[in-house]
Structure 1
């Protein structure tokens, strides 16, 4: 190989290497980084006093289970209250979340369209619009409802990892006015 040919070959090789590195750099920006849900995975239980806007307090037993899946994660939670007659009333929810195109923000996969793809529910039909945000040690779940009068109700569940387990802060607002709140620590099981 002549000296001129060797220099041309080396220049082409360097250009190919540079092009490959540039492509890798661009791809790293095109695919959003996924937040790590693994540190939240587990079961948590505890009790709390639910404070209503009228000042009344109702004790509740609460549990949360967070599980990872191949496409995202699932949050299941139950709230149980004991009525004055001693009977219990429980409400349970389970929502599957999948990554959005935005880092740390997850869409609720609560329905499927005609093509079998995961979709959000429609708040204009009285259904909740739900999403989650994972930021550091806090997993937040938001539920937005459009009321029959055209106003809104939003529920926010902040679940923050602490030494004892999971600190839960819940707020329910209607048109900006607080309706209910909870603050407690749920112990990891």
Structure 2
């Protein structure tokens, strides 16, 4: 069993190894009123002992000059499914990293690597039972990553962002 886990972890690292690095870019995001709002983005992908970590920051610039910064960092570990990785976002009472609970308003997060694309998915369930799913596709491209983001709320596209992130 331990050998299987070690092989699985090394396989995850081998897959993620191609994406390792720090990347930056910017985009104009359409807001609810139709105006375009500038946004700076950065992502760092690194190997961990058991898999890999994705850390990213988004800075949105408001028309009044204010800036809003959001940062996230999630580690991923291999699952029994090839190329599918579970988020290790919280430690349970036994010290093992486990998923959060979407029925308690926490996001359910996973990742997969298919070809040259590392995708991260986040599923949120709201108090009324509606949902939002966010998908971040980061595809290897010459000199960096092509980022495609989409947010879908209750079956309708809420937001899309596309940007090239240059490798630093």
Is TM more than 0.5 here?
A: yes
Q: SS at 1:150's partner residue?
A: coil
1:34 aligns with 2:11: yes
1:69 aligns with 2:69: no
Distance apart, 1:155 and its partner CA? 0.2
Cα distance between partner residues in 2 of 1:172 and 1:54: 17
**Structure with more of its chain in helix, by fraction:** 1
Q: SS at 1:158's partner residue?
A: strand
Cα distance between partner residues in 2 of 1:69 and 1:163: 25
Q: SS at 2:18's partner residue?
A: helix
Q: SS at 1:187's partner residue?
A: strand
Q: SS at 1:37's partner residue?
A: helix
1:141 aligns with 2:120: yes
Relative to structure 1, the CA distance from residue 54 to residue 88 in structure 2 (aligned partners, 3 Å threshold; closer, same or farther) is: closer
**Structure with more of its chain in strand, by fraction:** 2
- The aligned runs of 1:106-117 (5 Å cut-off) are 106-117=85-96
Q: Could you list the per-position Cα deviations for residues 114-150 of structure 1 after superposition, in whole angstroms to 9, with x for gaps in the alignment?
A: 1111110000000000000011110000000111110
Gaps of 5+ in 2: none
Cα distance between partner residues in 1 of 2:64 and 2:131: 34
Gaps of 5+ in 1: 1-26
Cα distance between partner residues in 2 of 1:121 and 1:172: 19
The two structures have a TM-score, normalised by structure 2, of 0.90
Q: Which 4+ stretches in 1 moved above 6 angstroms?
A: none
The count of aligned residue pairs is: 161
1:92 aligns with 2:76: no
What's the counterpart of residue 142 of structure 2?
Answer: 163
The two structures have a TM-score, normalised by structure 1, of 0.80
Q: SS at 1:101's partner residue?
A: coil
What's the counterpart of residue 39 of structure 2?
Answer: 60
